Amino acid sequence: MTPEEFRVAGHALIDWIADYRSGLAVRPVAATVAPGEIRAALPAVPPARPEPFADVLADLERIVVPGVTQTQSPSFFGWFPSNAALASVLGDLASSGLGALGITWASAPALTEVEEVVTEWLRELTGLPPGWRGAIHDTASTACLVALLAARERASGGSLHRGGLQAEERPLTVYASPQAHSSVGKATGLAGFGAANLRQVPVDPVTYQMLPDALAAMMAADVADGRRPAAVVVSIGTTGTTAIDPLARIAPIAAAYGAWVHIDAALAGSALLLPERQGMIDGIEGADSLCWNPHKWLGTVLDCSLLYVRDPGELVSVMSTNPSYLRSSVDGEVTQFKDWGIPLGRRFRALKLWFHLRLDGVDAIRARLRRDLANATWLEEAVAATPGWRVLAPVTLQTVCLRHEPSDMVGPDGEILDGEALDEYTLAWVAAVNGSGHAFVTPSKLDGRWMVRVSLGAEGTEREHVEALWKLLQDQVRDHVGIGE
Amino acid sequence: MTPEEFRVAGHALIDWIADYRSGLAVRPVAATVAPGEIRAALPAVPPARPEPFADVLADLERIVVPGVTQTQSPSFFGWFPSNAALASVLGDLASSGLGALGITWASAPALTEVEEVVTEWLRELTGLPPGWRGAIHDTASTACLVALLAARERASGGSLHRGGLQAEERPLTVYASPQAHSSVGKATGLAGFGAANLRQVPVDPVTYQMLPDALAAMMAADVADGRRPAAVVVSIGTTGTTAIDPLARIAPIAAAYGAWVHIDAALAGSALLLPERQGMIDGIEGADSLCWNPHKWLGTVLDCSLLYVRDPGELVSVMSTNPSYLRSSVDGEVTQFKDWGIPLGRRFRALKLWFHLRLDGVDAIRARLRRDLANATWLEEAVAATPGWRVLAPVTLQTVCLRHEPSDMVGPDGEILDGEALDEYTLAWVAAVNGSGHAFVTPSKLDGRWMVRVSLGAEGTEREHVEALWKLLQDQVRDHVGIGE
């Protein structure tokens, strides 16, 4: 494709995206395809000759769009917000258009230095201590693995430079709440600690926060047993209920054993842009790393996950490589982000943050975050005030965990709604909500029972959309109970 | 930013990219900034209010562009090609515009199924065996780590579900050529094997290919010593000289020990689209995984690395997570790419491959790859035929390793050019080449001495650009020797 062909096709695609975003409110929110349906709609071999751009664009509209859950819809309340602010889309386009290659500072100094600048902007905005340094990773899963690898190497005194973890005699242990994200267990496994060395620290039964005293007792018992505590993962905003582990109480306990403290604030980090919410990370001075994802609530298009560390040297000692073909005369003076994570090759992802912050401005971003927090409070109060409905966990941010539990606890077929029956009832009405196409929410288990997470914060979600959702939930429940009557 | 503001700004950015790409030939190829210069040009805090798009675009032109090595220039011959075909840029823009979230199949069925289709297209085109399945990762570094983690778990019988690698009594070992990419050693360390358990298998002194007999001897000795061979990394196209390890002889040796065979074909994989080059992977039926990067020579914009495996089940058993909020009723019928690698959240990267293959067509892509191979042969012959110049390694693909070694071996200051002096001379004239702005090549060490890699394959590189480069190399050397006369 020549630049002139690109110009014509690019204008058409920009128009398509503008139209697509403008028309989101009337599309079904959930994807409406069956397994294999999209695969079957595509040819088995790619074309030998170029296809017209209009054909590709038509397939995008006809095949692809019905096959995605509309995360940009104002009625998307699933998982966590996954905003793709249009300002950041432009930054990402600029990155692709430039086609810059980040492998060393010298390969693209601007790629490195813009990343240094925007991560410093966000460090300051989110209230992280001066001196902490950040870099962009793809996701919080990767960032968590990187943090646990650094923790492993600290605890083992640099085992990777010797016989590896397999040469260690005293097992290293990792601590997290059972409410921590699935990536914590996964990273523990991948880093070689083993599932048997992941300790699930009990949580408060009401707030779902990690219990510091239980952590202290577990660590002491492990040490007495000849084990070495390597890391504590603190969840600031768990995936299930956005519970906020008490960092200020946890960090000193970890410090007594030299254990790495990693903070997973994948969702909640966006709220740190609000000074009134920075109390969530009180105790940060005792932590080693913090990850949050601008590609969630903040709205910098996927994939953009920030990992901040107190001491980059601890990452570099684990991640550094230095083959001859990557050396330059200025290596001692510059940041080499290749040594801060797993990949060597680096996309110019800083541009999407740069464009996003500059084109939207911090004031508007903050106003939107506050809007979402207020909407969550509104929904929490509406649910709590309505007979038969329960709010199941404290609403700390923008996620409301709820369930319909009719006062007589009798379901559509006259059964008593406890245990399995309540689960079936919940899953049935939430499937009806999502199947309606009018909104999308995520069912999730809490204390072993299914409930519904309403996670607010799509960019276009105004109060009216939350009100419509609340009406939809009640209507579906009413219809559903009605079926059995 | 509203859709209508996006429409206006997007058109301007598309035009800027089209103009930028059209004008690449006259820009300096190497970045022309000093450490810290870009950082100093940017404000210390982001704006509170939105900035005009024109200001951001002006900064892109004024600050960012001079700060990147122009990998899309027809005179870029550095590292490896890092093409960003404009058709793939459109696919990437479509991905950002959609803002789809890939976490499970249900979150975006099209994201999963288009990825299945395009990786199957490329499996067929590259001559991989039927049944092999591919997924997109960010880079080959990550793909290599994923492969070695799978190898570790196979060799340890699933240690991550128990006490982890640290509970294993017999050390696991990994084998690779010293010419293997730096990511192999890094992945060995991160996976917990330890540097002491990475075996560097000797290579042929002329071809730089791994010596199978040496591998067999090392593996036998390790087993006799109580160690367990876990993985062999076969480089199909090393970074230094594009040496091609003899897979057909290596795979049976690895098979005798049940060791995982991972093929790193990050650069060379693009050449597998040419049927006449598929002999490189003879013996593939004895391998377990193969990685190659469409974001290199093929030209699908960063980041796009393909990891194919013979048995996806071996990845899934290592990478799978299944929290309640990610479950759906069709989980048994669909592919869950979250269980094929490290990240949970997945960008719709398949779109850039889909757009690229459809809009450019396979015929044109193959023609371009063949053009580059012919250009490399032309340069190899020109260098070999010129007194004082040497080709240092077989030209197996599109990279020519060369050095100027004057017949009298006397440098600019009258010194004998061997050892350190030859190194200094080489680094000096290559710095002059890159400093000229007219082309960019990468110095690298081979057998302990600096040489120059000319890596062809930028999308715009025609014979005339290779001829101009060859003239530039000779002119710089002449000027350089002249200084000392």
Domains of chain A: 3-68 (1.20.1340.10), 94-360 (3.40.640.10), 362-484 (3.90.1150.170)
Name chain A contacts of B16, Cβ cutoff 8 Å: 97
- Give the model confidence (pLDDT) of A43-59 as tens digits: 999 999 999 999 999 99
d(CA B2, CA A192): 47
Per the DSSP assignment, residues forming a β-bridge with B390 are B403
DSSP 8-state assignment for residue A48 = S
- Measured between CB atoms, which of A343, A357, A453 is closest to B141? A343
d(CA B82, CA B73): 10
For residue B37, CA distances in Å to A66, A118, A142, B66 come to 47, 15, 31, 11
Handedness of CA A276, A277, A282, A286 (dihedral sign): negative
- Give the pLDDT band (50/70/90) at residue B325: confident
For chain A, say whether B249 makes contact (Cβ under 8 Å): no
d(CA A26, CA A42): 26
Helix axes B86-98, B3-22, angle to 10 degrees: 160
**Which pLDDT score is estimated for B91?**
97
Name chain B contacts of A53, Cβ cutoff 8 Å: 90, 359
CB B323 within 8 Å of CB B165: no
d(CA A149, CA B148): 15
- Measured between CB atoms, which of A63, A301, A355 is closest to B110? A63
Touching A: B residues 374-433, CB under 8 Å: none
pLDDT of B485 above 60: no
Interface predicted TM-score of the whole assembly (ipTM), two decimals:
0.93
pLDDT average, residue stretch A202-218: 98
pLDDT of A485 above 70: no
Name chain B contacts of A66, Cβ cutoff 8 Å: 110
**Which pLDDT score is estimated for B414?**
67
For chain B, say whether A90 makes contact (Cβ under 8 Å): yes
Rg, chain A, Cα only:
24
CB A237 within 8 Å of CB A394: no
pLDDT average, residue stretch A237-248: 97
CB B291 within 8 Å of CB B304: no
d(CA B289, CA B273): 18
d(CA B144, CA A321): 15
pLDDT of A380 above 70: yes
DSSP string for residues in A258-290: T-EEEEE-TTGGGGGGSGGGGGGGTTGGG-SEE
Which region holds residue A174: left if phi is over 0, alpha if psi is between -120 and 50, else beta?
beta
Q: Which helix (H) or strand (E) covers residue B391, if one does?
A: strand B389-391
Minimum Cα–Cα distance from A446: chain B residue = B324
Residue to mutate among B72, B90, B292, with most A CBs inside 10 A, is: B90
**Which pLDDT score is estimated for A414?**
67
**Which pLDDT score is estimated for A484?**
36
Name chain A contacts of B63, Cβ cutoff 8 Å: 110
DSSP string for residues in B283-347: TGGG-SEEEE-TTTTT---SS-EEEEES-HHHHHHHH----GGG--TTTTTS--GGGGSS-SSB-
**Which pLDDT score is estimated for A322?**
83
d(CA B221, CA B223): 5
pLDDT average, residue stretch B435-442: 96
pLDDT of B411 above 90: no
Looking at B141-155, B406-420, B432-446, which range is the least confident one?
B406-420
- Burial of residue A234, with CB atoms counted within 10 A of its CB: 0-12 exposed, 13-18 middle, 19 or more buried: buried
Per the DSSP assignment, residues forming a β-bridge with A39 are none
The two beta strands, B198-200 and B172-176, are parallel
pLDDT of A482 above 60: no
- Give the model confidence (pLDDT) of B104-138 as tens digits: 999 999 999 999 999 999 999 999 999 999 999 99
pLDDT average, residue stretch A437-466: 96
User: Which of A361, A351, A394 is closest to A95 using CA atoms?
Assistant: A351
Q: Residue A367, Cβ neighbours under 10 Å: how many?
A: 10
DSSP 8-state assignment for residue A50 = P
- Give the model confidence (pLDDT) of A289-324 as tens digits: 999 999 999 999 999 999 999 999 999 999 998 888
pTM above 0.90, yes or no: yes
d(CA B117, CA A252): 51
- Give the model confidence (pLDDT) of A122-154 as tens digits: 999 999 999 999 999 999 999 999 999 998 999
Name chain A contacts of B367, Cβ cutoff 8 Å: none
Q: How many CA atoms lie within 13 A of B445 on its CB side?
A: 15
Rounded to the nearest integer, the mean pLDDT of chain B is 94
pLDDT of B459 above 60: yes
pLDDT average, residue stretch B452-456: 97
- Give the pLDDT band (50/70/90) at residue B482: very low
